[in-house]
A and B are shown apart, each in its own frame.
Chain A
Amino acid sequence: MNDAPKTGWLSRLKAGLSRSSSALTQGINDLFTKRKLDAAAIEELEEILITSDLGVATAASLTQKIAAGRFDQEVTSEEIRSALAAEIAQILEPVAIPLELDTSHSPHVILVCGVNGVGKTTTIGKLAQTYVETGKKVVLAAGDTFRAAAIEQLQIWGERTNCPVIATELGKDAAGLAFDALEQAKSMNADILLIDTAGRLQNKTELMAELGKIVRVIGKIDDTAPHSCLLVLDATTGQNAHSQVEIFAEMIDVTGLIVTKLDGSSKGGVLVSLAEKFGLPVHAVGVGEQAEDLRPFKAEDFANSLMGLDG
């Protein structure tokens, strides 16, 4: 993925995050214009972090780190925010890894999965656009054979990005479609095959098994494929994101995450605890509905924006 001009990505992310982080930073500002960091202040700080979906455990450990050495001292909100941003950036730094393509694979197969409504198809459209712009030959596979008009939705993205879309009828076997798509992508000499899948809740055993089948079937053509299995997460999701990552990663070898809808008022703070617990790479974030709104994930920028600090 190409880096866009830094201002573009940063201002977009910040435009999105600032609305959300304004509540967060406002909270911290109210708390410490200049105040003693006592037990009550620490508890309030912890609560503010919890309201950003960081989760109870992560909020507690972050607060403790911040409080260490500062307890009972006069602190400013600026100081607290910088310290928090630095801690958060440190947690996120190891997972801020761009999606690498292995050009020795022909094609490099990317399977995109996630629960319903997180934005899988839109993300595929954006990825396709990005790769096409860098001169790659991209083929799309409409593997959501369940939801009404999911195939049409991907086909429209195919038209927009000038990528061939391999599709079948609604209700047909998704694994079979994936198999056909890989064969066709090979014969077309494609660089990248992006496979869409139907949204599935992670506690539906049969649907999860179907996902496993897709992976197995693709492996019959190319036993190294799929080369990337991306799990798409919705930034508005709360702590259930943990269950999503855990169970999807159990079923298939999830290689990385993409976080969508970060342009809303939700903070995506769950990413911090996800990074701590699973350490899965976060490849990109979605900050808008346009193709160029899919951006590489950068730990420091994300942490600073979350805390309302200038990058």
Chain B
Amino acid sequence: MFDGLSDKFGDIFDRLKKRGALSESDVSEAMREIRVALLEADVALPVVKEFIDGVKEQAVGHDVLKSVTPGQMVIKVVNDHLIEMLGPEDAEINLAATAPVPILMVGLQGSGKTTTTGKLALRLKNRDRKKVLVAGLDVARPAAQEQLAQLAKQAEVECLVSVFGEQPVGIAKRAMDTGRREGFDVVILDTAGRLAIDQALMSEVADIRNTVAPAETLLVADAMSGQDAVNVAKEFNEKIGITGIVLTRVDGDARGGAALSMRSVTGCPIKLMGVGEKLDALESFQAERIAGRILGMGDVVGLVEKAAEVVDQEKAEKIAKRAMKGQFTLEDLQEQLAQVKKMGDLGGLMGMLPGVGKMKKQIAEANIDDRMIARQEAIILSMTPKERRNPKLLNAKRRKRIAAGSGTSVQDVNRLLKQYQQMSSMMKKMGKKGMQGMMPGGMPGGMMPPPGMKF
């Protein structure tokens, strides 16, 4: 969700930052570009207009013009307004009903209903200590019920056994009966994907709703959705009455403007977001995080989470401790490279850092890419264990051998060794100063993010 909006807003706000005072025309100009940026991010047109009007009203005000840095003030106004429109973020799943509490999952084909049903079941089981039953009402897509059964097994929750030929309303009834009889707290009903304009299927899901009277009707929607998301959300809300939205595929690189559209047009809170393929990758909605990404302030939370996910904490601490004592070896460096690599595409990673959006070109030109890490790794792997622990052994002959073994040149080997020495001495210094909280798995020297980019 970074590229477009981040870059665009970065440009606009850079220009604003450079000006002393903001006139109404300045704000208007910025708003025009924000409008385009939001449209490119798939925010629906009516919602864009509403947003711009709201921001403009707040921005072209006394406060802004008199404040010390007007540009920053505008950024804040835009950001606050975005968070406000996206929020609230403390909207929990409503379980305040007589058990078993029915939850109905609805949405278009391929929006991720079945996967989300599995994730939600796991979340309610673990977080809320609920006894959960899931039931597959999708009799249209081949193996949809089988998919839910498999996910339920992974989540270790019960899944209603399907009966061949049974229709959705019948399945819903049987699920609720089973839920009552066997003392379940929650029954999640996974419906088939349907088009909002398919009258027959929409009235089918309305029948299901009338049968079970769900405490929650969640619209599952894809973060990559285009302008039409606004119509889909409106239709589902009018015909079935939704109580919340689940935004899926937030871990993709879509700009996610649809979230703003759907939130705005239905008035229903975004309750959860899917952030990965694993069953536990379902999180409470964080408006600030999404807004931050949209506005190009970087998804720091996402970066930290990603780091926490892949960095082996124990190993990282061990390396840090040794580094402080001046015992940082090439083996440790290789371990760090491997962890950086595990975090995925370096370009994508950099994109998560605030303000880096615009530097992407420079980064590409500087050749700081994944291949460089792979090359550095290859160089270290071409050394003997003894050499890795004691780089002083590396004379010209050995360096030549390593270069040949790793398919690089002696210069490449030298460069890596120099980097290693710089890192090593820097870490020693940090150790002496007793600096705490050194970033585990820090990037090798020369790859440190440029100054001004803070975590």
Residue of A122, A155, A263, A265 with most chain B CB atoms under a 10 A cut-off: A265
9 residue pairs A–B, Cβ–Cβ below 8 Å: A23-B231, A115-B249, A153-B142, A206-B344, A236-B226, A238-B227, A261-B108, A265-B195, A266-B226
Nearest-Cβ distance from residue B11 to partner chain A, whole angstroms: 15
The chain A residue sitting closest to B42, CB to CB, is A238
**Which residues of B132-165 have CB atoms within 8 Å of chain A's CB atoms?**
140-144, 146-151, 154
A236 and B255: CB pair below 8 A? Answer: no
Known contacts A117-B112, A203-B345; A240 and B224 CB within 8 A of each other: yes
Q: What residues of A have a CB within 8 angstroms of the CB of B344 in the complex?
A: 204-206
With a cutoff of 8 Å between Cβ atoms, the chain B residues found around residue A23 in the complex are: 231
For residue B427, CB closer than 8 A to chain A, the reply is no
Closest residue of chain B to A19, judged by CB? Answer: B197
State the Cβ distance, B290 to closest chain A Cβ, in Å.
Answer: 15
Binary contact readout A5-40 vs B (1 if CB under 8 angstroms, 0 otherwise): 000000000000001100100000000000000000
Query: Which 8 A-B pairs rank lowest in CB-CB distance, beginning with the nearest?
Result: A238-B226, A117-B110, A149-B147, A238-B42, A148-B150, A156-B142, A266-B228, A152-B143
What residue of chain B has the Cβ atom nearest to residue A146's Cβ?
A: B277
Residues on B with C-beta less than 8 A from A153 are 141-144, 146-147
Contact B227 A53 (CB under 8 A): yes
B224 proximity list for chain A (CB < 8 A): 115, 234, 237-238, 240
CB pair B45–A47 under 8 Å, yes or no, is yes
Q: Which of B201-227 contact A (CB under 8 A)?
A: 222, 224-227
A232 to B151, CA, bound (A): 25
A172 contacts partner chain B, Cβ-Cβ < 8 Å? no
Interface residues of A (CB under 8 A from B): 19-20, 23, 47, 50-53, 55-56, 115-119, 122, 125, 146-150, 152-153, 155-157, 170, 201-206, 234, 236-240, 243, 261, 263-267, 269-270, 289
Provide the residues of chain B in CB contact with A19, threshold 8 Å.
197
CA distance A239 to B1 in the complex (A): 11
Question: Which residue of A47, A53, A264 is within 8 Å of B196 (Cβ)?
Answer: A264
Known: A237-B226, A266-B228, A289-B140. 8 other contacts (CB 8 A): A56-B36, A117-B109, A117-B110, A153-B142, A203-B253, A205-B345, A238-B42, A239-B255
A to B contact number (C-beta, < 8 Å): 152
Q: Residues of B at under 8 Å CB distance from A? A: 3-4, 36, 39-42, 44-45, 108-112, 115, 118, 140-144, 146-151, 154, 195-197, 222, 224-229, 231-232, 235, 249, 251-255, 257-258, 277, 344-345, 348, 370
Given contacts A148-B147, A239-B40, A264-B228, contact A119 B195 (CB under 8 A): no
Establish whether residues A117 and B252, one from each chain, have CB atoms under 8 Å apart when the complex forms. no
Measured between beta carbons, the chain B residues less than 8 angstroms from A115 are 224, 249, 252
The residue of chain A having its C-beta at the shortest distance from the C-beta of B226 within the complex is A238
| Residue among A50, A125, A238 with most chain B CB within 10 A | A238
